[in-house]
């Protein structure tokens, strides 16, 4: 598996984690709750790119989970 394929797996896992934490909130509601622009969240859900490390830290702290969990590296 090459690096590009690895990133695709992480993007998929991250989008799944995000949906789990959104818990039926709209993108706008979720964005406001965590202080991240809604456009950024839309891009993550479309699996356009992985989040910057700052955003991973914000999300991990907000949802009391590890960055590994957000990226699908642990259950």
Tens digits of per-residue pLDDT, 24-34?
999 999 999 99
Q: Are 71 and 19 in contact (CB under 8 A)?
A: no
Residues 2-48: pLDDT tens digits?
666 678 999 999 999 999 999 999 999 999 999 999 999 999 999 99
Domain count, the chain: 1
Residue 29 falls within a domain, yes or no? yes
Terminal alpha carbon distance of the chain: 21
> What range defines the domain where residue 64 resides?
3-70
Q: What pLDDT score was predicted for residue 31?
A: 95
- pTM for the full predicted model: 0.87
Residue 1 has pLDDT above 60, yes or no: no
- CATH number of the domain enclosing 53: 1.10.260.40
How far apart CA 74 and CA 43 sit, in angstroms, is 23
75 part of a folded domain: no
Q: How far is CA 38 from CA 1, 16, 34, 42, 66, in A?
A: 32, 17, 10, 6, 22
């Amino acid at each position: 598996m090459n690096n590009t394929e690895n990133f695709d797996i992480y993007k998929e896992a991250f989008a799944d984690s995000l949906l789990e934490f959104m818990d039926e909130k709209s993108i706008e509601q979720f964005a406001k709750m965590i202080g991240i622009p809604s456009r950024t969240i839309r891009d993550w859900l479309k699996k356009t790119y992985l989040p910057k490390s700052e955003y991973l830290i914000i999300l991990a702290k907000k949802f009391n989970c590890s960055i590994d969990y957000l990226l699908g590296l642990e259950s």
